Amino acid sequence: MEELGYLADPNHRSGYIAVVGKPNVGKSTLSNQMIGQKLSIVTDKPQTTRHRILGICSAPEYQMILYDTPGVIEKKMHKLDTMMMKNVRSAAINADCVLVVVDACKTPQNINEVLQEGVGELKENVPVLLVLNKRDLIKPGEMAKKLEWYEKSTDVDEVIPVSAKYGHGIDDVKDWILSKLPLGPAYYPKDITSEHPERFFIGEIVREKIFMQFRNEVPYACQVNVINYQTRPNAKDFIQVEIVVEKNTQKIILIGKDGKALKLLATASRLDIEDFLQKKVFLEVEVKVKENWRQDEGLLRYYGYGGKIQAL
């Protein structure tokens, strides 16, 4: 059917866009704004995006497929980090264009280093757009200086300042991408925003709440798995989630005194999940200990870090 649609519109464009950059520069916020729906975790803590979250932005005349890659990590500490970096590189190698996102508030940085660390070797002549994010926090005169510096010092096709938080400049980014995408049919049905199953996003919502509620190392040691999801026509959907941690001390922190911390986490998660699914749910959350899961390659693959998300 998509093929027939393409024949009817020979000007239809489709392609893959890799979104790269250092941790905490606003890649997920940018992707979410472009898609018009929250698909990526957004927190003020680095390294919250672990998977190549594939967001799909469709209109009658185009389909943009966004890889929101994990942030470039300076120092690899776990096997989990190594597998995440592999995901970044494989996403970018197949991209039709690349968005490099930088924080405009920070001192200008060498974009070639970010590209090299994040994607390694690019296909020849892949167009690269530099997105200067957080323009809402900078005075116009200061922004003009930053723009000038990046235009002179970097080998990118164009520089566009945006405020991903407020959606300013997002249309300019879309227009630039559209000018670079190849002609061709849609890769996915036009009415879906991601190829990941719903349960993947339910897990990501719970993980976001862990980052918001707990500090220090605890959120980084957590893996969230949706182990049961039953749709029930005459009752609330039933969702069972397990949070896997590495140590018993982490489990105690997550549960909290008299189970209060876990109850708070479950309520915050449930409200967001209901908003995402547009229906009421019954959410059950339990915490399990699996020592050193971040170093266990078999478990990491099972949890979806080999580049594929488990549908379970």
Q: Kindly give the residue spans of alpha helices, DSSP state H, lying in the chain.
A: 2-8, 27-35, 79-93, 111-119, 140-153, 170-180, 198-213, 248-255, 260-277, 297-302
- Residue 172 has which token pair? 């300019």
CA angle in degrees (0–180, nearest 5) for 129-131-134: 180
Fold of 2-180: Rossmann fold (3.40.50)
Contact 184, 64 (CB under 8 A): no
DSSP assigned state of 72: P
Q: d(Cα 165, Cα 183) in Å, to the nearest integer?
A: 31
Residues 312 and 302: their CA atoms lie apart, in Å, by: 9
CB 181 within 8 A of CB 15: yes
Report how far residue 258's alpha carbon sits from residue 153's, in angstroms, rounded to the nearest whole number: 57
- Distance in angstroms (rounded) separating the CA atoms of residues 106 and 143: 11
- CB of 116 closer than 8 Å to CB of 22: no
Beta bridge partners of 99: 19, 129
Q: Enter the tokens of residue 19.
A: 């979104």
Task: State residue 112's pLDDT score.
Answer: 73
List the helix and strand counts (H, then E) for the chain: 10, 9
CB-CB contact of 69 with 18 (8 Å)? yes
CA distance 97 to 66: 10
For position 125, what pLDDT does the model report?
77
Q: How far apart are CA 152 and CA 307, in angstroms?
A: 36
Beta bridge partners of 53: 68
CA 203 to chain centre: 13
Topology adopted by domain 198-302: GMP Synthetase; Chain A, domain 3 (3.30.300)
Tell me what pLDDT residue 290 has: 86
Q: Which residue has the tokens 């994990």?
A: 70
Domain map (residue ranges) of the chain:
2-180, 198-302
pLDDT 10s digit of each residue in the chain, 312 long?
A: 344 444 457 888 988 888 888 777 888 788 878 877 555 444 444 444 444 555 778 888 888 888 766 555 555 556 666 665 665 556 566 789 989 899 998 888 777 776 666 555 556 678 999 999 999 998 989 899 998 888 888 888 899 999 988 989 999 999 999 999 999 888 776 665 554 457 777 888 898 888 888 877 787 788 888 888 888 878 898 999 989 888 899 999 999 999 999 999 999 999 988 887 778 999 999 999 988 777 777 766 666 665 543 333
